[in-house]
Amino acid sequence: MARFRKHLFICVNEREDADPRGCCAAKGSREVAAAFKSRLHALGLKRLVRANQAGCLDQCARGVTVVVYPEGVWYGHVTVGDVDEIVEKHVLGGEPVQRLVLRDEELTGLDPARMPGAPPTVP
Ligand code: FES
């Protein structure tokens, strides 16, 4: 069996309306996940690109959250209207849709210079 070329995880976590964290489901994540599956299927990519519904990806305020592997590109504020662009530019073209990419410091809350793998700072 061939390995998937790309693997998308779409948060569909749902919380109570009163929960201050909010959730991706309240922002249309199930529709986003369905749109990804539908578009990938229509393009004949079902066996090469997998779109999975995921639990909370800990970026709730920035949802709908989508992660694309193997690149490890994280998208935030994704809507159904963004799905075709992500598929065309990123999944097929290899270029992430920069306007939706969550930066490392947004994901981690850390200063990029202090992240593991960052170049050493010169005193
Ligand atoms: S509910 Fe989607 S990232 Fe937390």
Q: Which of 60, 62, 66 to mutate to test the pocket of ligand 1 (most atoms within 8 A of CB)?
A: 60
Query: What class has domain 6-114?
Result: alpha beta
Domain boundaries, the chain: 6-114
pLDDT at 117 over 90: no
Verdict on whether the full-model pTM lies above 0.85: yes
Provide residues with CB under 6 Å of ligand 1.
11, 13, 23-24, 56-60, 63, 65
Instruction: Kindly report, residue by residue over 72-111, the tens digit of the pLDDT.
Output: 999 999 999 999 999 999 999 999 999 999 998 888 888 8
pLDDT at 34 over 70: yes
Strand order in the sheet with 49-54: 49-54, 6-11, 66-69, 73-75
The number of residues in the chain equals: 123
pLDDT over 90, % of the chain:
80
